[in-house]
Amino acid sequence: MSDLAASAIDLCRALVRRPSVTPDDAGAQDVLEARLKAAGFATDRIVFSESGTPDIQNLYARIGTSAPHLVFAGHTDVVPPGNAASWRFDPFSAELSEGAIYGRGVADMKGAIAAFAAAAIGFVQRSGTGKGSISLLITGDEEGPAINGTKKLLRFAQERGARFDHCILGEPTNPDALGEMIKIGRRGSLNGTLRVKGRQGHVAYPQRAKNPIPQLVRLIEALIAAPLDAGTAHFDASNLEIVSVDVGNLAFNIIPAEAHARFNIRFNDLWTPETLAAELRKRARAAAEDADYELRFEPCNALAFLMPPDGFTDLLRAAIEKHTGRKPSLSTSGGTSDARFIRAYCPVVEFGLVGATMHMIDEHAAVKDIEVLTAIYSTLLEDYFSF
């Protein structure tokens, strides 16, 4: 194993040992900041706050002052491990076993942070800082409400004069093997609630009541009966999933007064939240009959977007093929990510580790994959600052 790879593995395990479950950073960004400062990066630690939301630790690090400016982005926060007794090893021990590191967040996405931090430090040690600028944009709020994280950190950097030329986000983009997939966009995400009011009464006297459940079922069917679209060249078809149906009724002899359903829509670039809401309201009106209903949508900060492939995408694909032998596909699949905020500032693509075990019991990443990912990022830096 090269010194560069060993540095990435060591940093990865140090990060995983910090139980940084959103919103508690637990010292993870301290670990990363210390490595970057020792390599000459200027660092800023910023805590963003907003009423009704937790305070969030963020880290911005930069070396160099000129263009081109390449930024690596990621998050040190992780989802809860669940029942630790169900894990093969303690979820925050970063145990090394059978060629893999086990621990919450190793795949999503502390392994990638360690890889791009080691690659950036190695590049600076080899080439100095005269060819441009490298930044790291690290938040602790990606797995949470994403209010006091990347969105505000980008504004912080911009207000201090930072102008980014390209960004790579280290989310775990590969389904099964390193090198399979680059994300060049993401679907949007819109949440909604359908609420139907009835009239409560005794089940033995239905004529005195009005059951909202059949009306709710009819309206749900109207929302999902027809496909929203057939997809586009880069996006799958938009999809509405009912995630909850509830009446809050524990009795067998009461017709409930109200019923509601909650749903999520993952939508492509044919829609905006506004046009999607209008379409669903139209469908509901057509099926409403005499239903007393409300269709409400949550504020949406996850719009569908696409980054058309460019020279930067070509550099990344070439680096991936060089070190894995695979030609990665360009995809917009998966959930949301902080790329939805970054894309307003510069072109952004996503490439990281294999995501097969992210958010699962016994989350792990192969040591070899972290080693190869570090080499990919290192080659990308060399090529980026020479073209």
**Which residues are catalytically annotated?**
77, 142
Q: Are the CB atoms for 123 and 39 separated by under 8 Å? A: no
Q: At a CB cut-off of 8 Å and minimum separation 6, what does 185 contact?
A: 234, 235, 269, 304, 305, 306, 307, 332, 339
What CA–CA distances, in Å, run from 203 to 186, 206, 225, 252?
A: 47, 6, 30, 8
Nearest by Cα to 258 from 234, 294, 286: 294
Q: Which amino acid is present at 148?
A: N
Give me the torsion for CA of 266, 331, 142, 240, rounded to 10°: 10
Q: DSSP letter string over 202-222?
A: ETT-GGGSB-HHHHHHHHHHH
Q: Which among 61, 49, 42 is positioned nearest to 23, based on CA atoms?
A: 49
Alpha helices in the chain (DSSP H): 3-16, 28-38, 111-127, 150-159, 212-224, 273-287, 311-324, 339-342, 367-384
What is the distance between the alpha carbons of residues 78 and 84, in angstroms, rounded to a whole number? 14
Cis peptide before 68 (omega within 30 of 0): yes
Token pair 């000459």 is at which residue? Answer: 40
191: tokens are 């949440």
SS (H, E, C) 217-262: HHHHHHHHCCCCCCCCCCCCCCEEEEEEEECCCCCCCEECCEEEEE
For 221, other C-beta atoms within 10 Å of its C-beta total 11
How far apart CA 178 and CA 364 sit, in angstroms, is: 14
